Amino acid sequence: MVDTSRYEATFNVVDADGDGLIDADELQGVMRVLGEEIDAARAAEVVKAIDADGDGRLSLEEFATFMEQGAAAS
In the complex, which residues of this chain contact Ca ion (CB under 5 A)?
15, 17, 19, 51, 53, 55
Minimum distance between the CB of residue 26 and Ca ion, rounded to whole angstroms?
5
Which helix (H) or strand (E) element contains residue 61? helix 60-73
**Distance, first Cα to last Cα, the chain:** 20
Q: In terms of CB distance, is 8 or 19 closer to Ca ion?
A: 19
Minimum distance between the CB of residue 41 and Ca ion, rounded to whole angstroms?
19
Minimum distance between the CB of residue 19 and Ca ion, rounded to whole angstroms?
4
Eight-class DSSP state of 65 = H
